[in-house]
Amino acid sequence: MKCRECVEQLYPYLDKELTPPVETEVRAHLEHCHPCHDQFEFEALFLRFLHARTRAQGAPPELKEKIVRELLEE
Ligand SMILES: [Zn+2]
pTM: 0.66
d(CA 31, CA 29): 5
Distance 65 CA to ligand 1 centre (A): 25
Predicted pLDDT of residue 40: 93
13-62 pLDDT tens trace: 988 999 999 999 999 999 999 999 999 999 999 888 888 877 777 767 77
Distances (CA, A) of 30 to 5, 16, 23, 58, 69: 12, 15, 11, 33, 23
For the residues 64-70, what does the mean pLDDT come to?
80
Distance 12 CA to ligand 1 centre (A): 16
Predicted pLDDT of residue 74: 66
